[in-house]
Amino acid sequence: MAGFGGMRKGRNEAVDNLGYNEEGDCPRCGGNAQDSTMKGYLQCGS
């Protein structure tokens, strides 16, 4: 079937984007976090 390659690629990218990493302060990339501009929140420092 033609046309489903892009859908699979997008699905794989979403899985990578929504993955969880337990190392470091940032759960997405495992890097360090820094204070956000919103009080009480952190943002990824990478």
- Count of residues making up the chain: 46
- pLDDT score recorded for residue 21: 58
Residues of the chain falling short of pLDDT 50: 1
In angstroms, rounded to a whole number, what is the distance separating the alpha carbons of residues 8 and 43?
29
- pLDDT score recorded for residue 22: 65
Six-digit token string for 42: 């952190």
End-to-end alpha carbon distance in the chain:
40
- pLDDT score recorded for residue 30: 75
In angstroms, rounded to a whole number, what is the distance separating the alpha carbons of residues 18 and 22?
13
Please say whether the beta carbons of 28 and 19 come within 8 A: yes
- pLDDT score recorded for residue 5: 57
The domain ranges of the chain are 5-44
